[in-house]
Structure 1
């Protein structure tokens, strides 16, 4: 499909958004709206002996105060997304806590008032009698046996996830060399520019509930709300307006607020709105990352990796709303691009008194890559060789694809790498880095007292999770193509990439294609935006729907041009008779053919095309098609990073970063670059700046951007970005997802670079993120 696909086309949606014409949730104002505020727990673990809300109910402007007791059966456990046999004791949150709170920030009381200020004033009048309990904050607390997040769950174990390939324990026992590492990655969070938010309106005359939700999955929210609130689907519409970032934080089904705000609108027959402030985001939005690994690697004298095992703890917080997805993805993605015949992972999913965990960009993959790449660095150090040599010796060859990892993903599908060229991608990265030239600079710098370091990492990214997405394509009366999809955008560029795909199929400019997210209404045809799936699933659905629409366009044009449809071709928004350029009709003329109008300056009206040729069926210039897949497709890449570390301050400066990335066929290089670079800058934040911390009593100590430092444009280093395209054989467009790729290997690559820079100090990097003070402290202990 030459033309639009593959073109570095500016994003169609950017002009509106950059001019401040976006419509985010808090920009939507409905007449008569009330505003909600939530009283949240100030204890990490406590029994609730009593709740007194009478003062709040009498406060000025208050229209509704709800406790869990007021909700009755509605206050049951919220849905569990992704049930799995590995879940031994799944617990999900209730909309409002009744007799126990399990993390600071858990909602206890909902107050609805005429404005947010009055609701917050009324919240000060709520009195809650707490009986504090011993807190489970760290993994050691969870394992000690005398502290419990849920009293009926021994050891605080929610699940155990494990798989094995080959016989790693026997190989480790007999291997020429083995080594073990203890490794940690700390908690972090998505921090989208726009927090969560919900606005709901119940119209008693039309008996219709309309919900606006800053969510990545309005279809799932609509279906769930219909069941929970007992509102028929045909009387319920859920839509995601412009969403100011998601990164997985807004994928949840459900947060308590997403149930309670619509419920309050039903109760009051008035619009009810809630928008999350930044403090609420830090204490009550879902988080991710926290894991501790005990990993072992077996290898031979040539650096061939013979076996790997990891036993790890995964911090799931107080509840497990998203099943085992994150720890299972860690386990299945840990071997990455390396051909390791013998492998085992076993992860304990542990409850703690912290906010619940659900996927955050990368979703378990950064942890797995960090472990695998730290093992490779340790192997290279033991053998006295360069880490890149160990990596290259263990890469899966191109001849091995499709490559069956022997592992099962958390949705029960098989982890089979569909395509790739890992050696070529790695060699491109090496060429861009220039290892030998860097080593010369490094030696010269050390002679001057400066410490430069080189780090690398590779990864795979399972993308395109099913089961399906759909697209409805229509040719409207102005000759524009309208695409309705169910994957809302949070910055991914759907309006551009889907337009490019449809434009090439139909034969028009991408600017003539308009993409609409009809995600939460009766025309919903899919699931949502998560798991790097939109381009794979919706992109192929768009191509199928556009092809079906093109067939109908040609059928209609054949009547107008009085020829057979197979003699026609489309180009530049027109349909031509092949070999007769002057015999043509525009898409606009075709669209108006069912309603003939004589336009000024034309000789005759457009002929009436009321029936399909050879049929009594009316002309329908629209088509709906679906793309279904039960098999993930795997993107991949290799990163290289050059850093300088100041031993006096511990500051890390990134001098250059290299990314070689493979997402199959590239629809729009500009959009892919944006996704990869966006992930990269988030990865830098996760490696050097961002860490959620908690006091011993479970109180969060990072509750604003004053002590949780996001990366800025100043943290983006000089960058070399290179694309490698190995089309996937498992979808017609040959594409793979790319939304999470950029973040996955960043912490691992930077860790190796820091360790390399500080090799004279024998400074091992075993945890991420790593702050300057920690580097300085470690150097003080190991001065050469």
Structure 2
């Protein structure tokens, strides 16, 4: 179909403007903080100012006597509550289940990180709650903070004494490969070794977290309004495992959510608190995070320390890979934390390459820091950074082109489906094509001339290459269940057709910036042939949407969209039966195109509205074997991950006098399979690139030896701004459609954050080597001016 026809139709392939943006850009969005319930109280959390300490006493008597105070809550008020659950259990390489400490709603006996909640003041106004919090007297015996992961494993002070160790698990993958890997390294013609740090990050979405609890005493109904990426999962975890509320008596609503990047997947203590407090006080209770609170309460990302090695033969073929990683869990296990450095990381260590033998070891460690969990990419950026830095270093040591070394070791198009040595099977891909496209886009042939021009201005110009592959969708349920997931990872959709032909789609996925209300409507519009404006997308409320797993891991279209396709196909099949009856024809002869049912080979036709009206006004209807109405529900459980991949090229200029790095060009050639809305995909890539480049050059969550957060505000935590980036070049024309979902899509939301960090660091090192600083083999992220300058001086 010509592009202009696609655009007019508003279906798959159209760069339709996001319908959501009308309300967001005009200030009409409805976020959780916009929700205020008559008679609500306000909660203010009193949080630990020390990283590790024993709670000696809490005296709230003076506070409770202050004006407006309804109650001061401590852990004693939650004695019957369960632990905030971890949603994934990892079994270590010795067959032992991970150590899993209790995670209370409010600290019990000890505080374990700066920001750990100790008590909560609930009052008529927020100012009254804050004033009363000053009158709560808390005595804490400070203990040594456990901060260094390797020292924490070696012995000494414990974050959780009852566990007897700070080592959560010691994971080996694939354990049966270990001996063969060691043998391959012993026989290698060349071995490249790097030690890397993947820096800790704070997600910093636009909207801080908010939770509002409400309780109807006359019905026993609890309602939680929260900034969540997956309200159904919150309802399940909080209702079943923390507060023991029957699911039919617990409603969770996530309205418009201003960004998440992973940090709003998880069940947090504040959600359970306001829900329970509303029940106890018989009044609504609201908590709104400040940005300062977010730094010490929202789950952090990354924080890995890794040694990685690559073995090559005399012809420069990769023969084996091995890694040893220390992964920081923080003080408690967040919802999906154990899966990130293991199954979302180890299974991607093959990358785009046909390395025959791989062994990954991960030691997950408890420390006195904020819990660490999934952040945009979740395990995949960590794997890609390790691998792509290593391949570049190997090329430099061998004196060969980083382009040629990659091409030589790529999995070839005729090798798909490709069984990797780390369990997963890639269904499609063409890594040579994306690399060739990048070379064209980035004008690699003209780089030397640009480098010479930079040199004339006293700047060092470098080009950095990185190739990535991602596993999206996190599926299927039966597999992830064997790997330790404590929930299914399917998705759901209900499609309700109204009598006049308009459609409402209820989805278990959740949108927090991805444009679901636009793209999901495009999918259904394309299938039926009606205008996308006739389709409404409903999400975010457990009371009217089918059970779903929410949005993360670039799964919305591949999994949630596929559920919609299944449900819509059920609608179409039933509608064809009605149309066949109306036109006195065989169902097998009915065709649907552009919203019109026709009898093949004839001029007989019925419009979409003719058929939908007949479904609800069944005066002439095949009643003997078909129910009236048009409404269907479907659940979709994928048979495999999807595997988007791409090649990224970054050009930087380095000022040798100051070490300042400027990204002057960036090109991204991605394979996302089929693309529903090119404009939205491009925007997703832009956002991912901004976050990945931010990690590479600016962002760093830093603690001191006492567990105090030194970068706890925007004064110290450097967020990227628009003027830190050039205009990105983005291409997704090298598509190899996914073979196992009905849309052929692969996922795009995390790609930019996965492929960009190694491309940036590779570019910085290339610039330094071109400037004669050949002794610099690695610079840890962020490559700040001080770090780059210090590396040059060494």
TM-score w.r.t. the length of structure 1 is 0.93
Aligned pairs for 1:219-238 within 5 A: 219-227=232-240, 228-238=242-252
CA RMSD of aligned residues (A): 2.0
Residue 507 of structure 2 corresponds to residue 493 of structure 1 = no
Q: Residue 489 and residue 703 in structure 1: after superposition, are their counterparts in 2 closer, same or farther (change >3 A)?
A: same
Deviation at 1:219, TM superposition (A): 0.5
Deviation at 1:154, TM superposition (A): 4.8
The separation in 1 between residues aligned to 2:333 and 2:245, in whole angstroms, is 27
Alignment partner of 2:392: what SS? helix
Deviation at 1:323, TM superposition (A): 4.5
Q: Which residue of the partner structure matches residue 755 of structure 1?
A: 765
Q: Which residue of the partner structure matches residue 9 of structure 1?
A: 16
Alignment partner of 1:745: what SS? helix
The separation in 2 between residues aligned to 1:289 and 1:40, in whole angstroms, is 24
Residue 554 of structure 2 corresponds to residue 506 of structure 1 = no
Deviation at 1:145, TM superposition (A): 1.8
Q: String of CA shifts for 1:303-330, please: whole Å, max 9, x gaps.
A: 3222111111111111122342111122
Q: Residue 506 and residue 586 in structure 1: after superposition, are their counterparts in 2 closer, same or farther (change >3 A)?
A: closer
Residue 441 of structure 2 corresponds to residue 438 of structure 1 = no
Q: Select the residue among 144, 151, 158 that pairs with 1:148.
A: 158
Q: Select the residue among 181, 184, 201 that pairs with 2:214.
A: 201
Residues 234 and 522, structure 1, Cα contact 8 Å, conserved in 2: no
The separation in 2 between residues aligned to 1:25 and 1:5, in whole angstroms, is 32
Residue 668 of structure 2 corresponds to residue 659 of structure 1 = yes
Out of 611-620 and 120-129, give the one that drifted further.
611-620
Q: Which residue of the partner structure matches residue 375 of structure 2?
A: 360
Q: Which residue of the partner structure matches residue 485 of structure 2?
A: none
Deviation at 1:563, TM superposition (A): 4.4
Out of 111-120 and 453-462, give the one that drifted further.
111-120
Alignment partner of 1:744: what SS? helix
Q: Which residue of the partner structure matches residue 480 of structure 2?
A: none
The separation in 1 between residues aligned to 2:614 and 2:347, in whole angstroms, is 55
Deviation at 1:565, TM superposition (A): 4.2
Residues 324 and 360, structure 2, Cα contact 8 Å, conserved in 1: yes
The separation in 2 between residues aligned to 1:323 and 1:771, in whole angstroms, is 28
Q: Select the residue among 433, 452, 467 that pairs with 2:461.
A: 452
Q: String of CA shifts for 1:123-148, please: whole Å, max 9, x gaps.
A: 11111111111111222442442222
Deviation at 1:19, TM superposition (A): 1.3
Residue 301 of structure 2 corresponds to residue 288 of structure 1 = yes
The separation in 1 between residues aligned to 2:457 and 2:400, in whole angstroms, is 25
The separation in 1 between residues aligned to 2:318 and 2:626, in whole angstroms, is 65
Q: Residue 266 and residue 581 in structure 1: after superposition, are their counterparts in 2 closer, same or farther (change >3 A)?
A: farther
The separation in 2 between residues aligned to 1:330 and 1:771, in whole angstroms, is 26
Q: Select the residue among 551, 573, 581 that pairs with 1:529.
A: 551
Alignment partner of 1:190: what SS? coil
Q: Select the residue among 238, 242, 263 that pairs with 2:256.
A: 242
Deviation at 1:468, TM superposition (A): 1.5
Deviation at 1:448, TM superposition (A): 5.2
Deviation at 1:155, TM superposition (A): 5.0
Residues 184 and 766, structure 1, Cα contact 8 Å, conserved in 2: no
Residue 384 of structure 2 corresponds to residue 375 of structure 1 = no
Q: Select the residue among 563, 570, 575 that pairs with 1:548.
A: 570
Q: Which residue of the partner structure matches residue 711 of structure 1?
A: 720
Residues 747 and 769, structure 1, Cα contact 8 Å, conserved in 2: no
Q: Which residue of the partner structure matches residue 57 of structure 1?
A: 64
Q: Select the residue among 721, 725, 732 that pairs with 2:735.
A: 725
Q: Which residue of the partner structure matches residue 404 of structure 1?
A: 419
| Number of residue pairs aligned between Structure 1 and Structure 2 | 760
Residue 192 of structure 2 corresponds to residue 170 of structure 1 = no
Q: String of CA shifts for 1:725-757, please: whole Å, max 9, x gaps.
A: 111111122111222111002111111100011
Q: Select the residue among 309, 314, 326 that pairs with 2:340.
A: 326
Residue 121 of structure 2 corresponds to residue 133 of structure 1 = no
Aligned pairs for 1:89-100 within 5 A: 89-100=99-110
The separation in 1 between residues aligned to 2:545 and 2:358, in whole angstroms, is 45
Q: Which residue of the partner structure matches residue 217 of structure 1?
A: 230
Q: String of CA shifts for 1:210-246, please: whole Å, max 9, x gaps.
A: 2211101100111223323233222221121001001
Q: Which residue of the partner structure matches residue 630 of structure 2?
A: 621
Alignment partner of 1:452: what SS? strand
Q: Residue 185 and residue 585 in structure 1: after superposition, are their counterparts in 2 closer, same or farther (change >3 A)?
A: closer
Q: Which residue of the partner structure matches residue 401 of structure 2?
A: 386
Q: String of CA shifts for 1:466-489, please: whole Å, max 9, x gaps.
A: 431111111113421110001110
Residues 84 and 323, structure 1, Cα contact 8 Å, conserved in 2: no
Deviation at 1:631, TM superposition (A): 1.9
Q: Which residue of the partner structure matches residue 126 of structure 2?
A: 116
Aligned pairs for 1:277-356 within 5 A: 277-321=290-334, 322-328=336-342, 329-356=344-371
The separation in 2 between residues aligned to 1:365 and 1:673, in whole angstroms, is 20
Q: Residue 489 and residue 205 in structure 1: after superposition, are their counterparts in 2 closer, same or farther (change >3 A)?
A: same
Alignment partner of 1:761: what SS? coil
Residues 650 and 772, structure 1, Cα contact 8 Å, conserved in 2: yes
Q: Residue 14 and residue 631 in structure 1: after superposition, are their counterparts in 2 closer, same or farther (change >3 A)?
A: same
Q: String of CA shifts for 1:31-78, please: whole Å, max 9, x gaps.
A: 11111111111110111111111122112111121110122121x421
Q: Which residue of the partner structure matches residue 38 of structure 2?
A: 31
Deviation at 1:493, TM superposition (A): 1.1
Alignment partner of 1:73: what SS? coil
The separation in 1 between residues aligned to 2:533 and 2:587, in whole angstroms, is 26
Residues 508 and 571, structure 1, Cα contact 8 Å, conserved in 2: no
Alignment partner of 1:633: what SS? coil
Deviation at 1:392, TM superposition (A): 1.3
Residue 48 of structure 2 corresponds to residue 48 of structure 1 = no
Deviation at 1:630, TM superposition (A): 4.2
Deviation at 1:573, TM superposition (A): 3.8
Residues 238 and 272, structure 2, Cα contact 8 Å, conserved in 1: yes
Q: Residue 581 and residue 712 in structure 1: after superposition, are their counterparts in 2 closer, same or farther (change >3 A)?
A: farther
Out of 572-581 and 90-99, give the one that drifted further.
572-581
Deviation at 1:574, TM superposition (A): 4.1
Alignment partner of 1:684: what SS? helix
Deviation at 1:773, TM superposition (A): 1.6
Q: Residue 13 and residue 444 in structure 1: after superposition, are their counterparts in 2 closer, same or farther (change >3 A)?
A: closer
Aligned pairs for 1:612-691 within 5 A: 612-613=621-622, 615=624, 617-691=626-700
Deviation at 1:681, TM superposition (A): 0.6
Q: Which runs of 5+ in 2 are unaligned?
A: 476-488
Alignment partner of 1:69: what SS? helix
Out of 385-394 and 97-106, give the one that drifted further.
385-394
The separation in 1 between residues aligned to 2:440 and 2:608, in whole angstroms, is 50
Q: String of CA shifts for 1:373-412, please: whole Å, max 9, x gaps.
A: 121122111111221221111111111111111324xxxx
Deviation at 1:612, TM superposition (A): 4.8
Deviation at 1:617, TM superposition (A): 4.7
Out of 2-11 and 154-163, give the one that drifted further.
2-11
The separation in 2 between residues aligned to 1:611 and 1:276, in whole angstroms, is 58
The separation in 2 between residues aligned to 1:576 and 1:518, in whole angstroms, is 37
Q: String of CA shifts for 1:630-688, please: whole Å, max 9, x gaps.
A: 42121111100111011112211111101011111111111111111110111111111
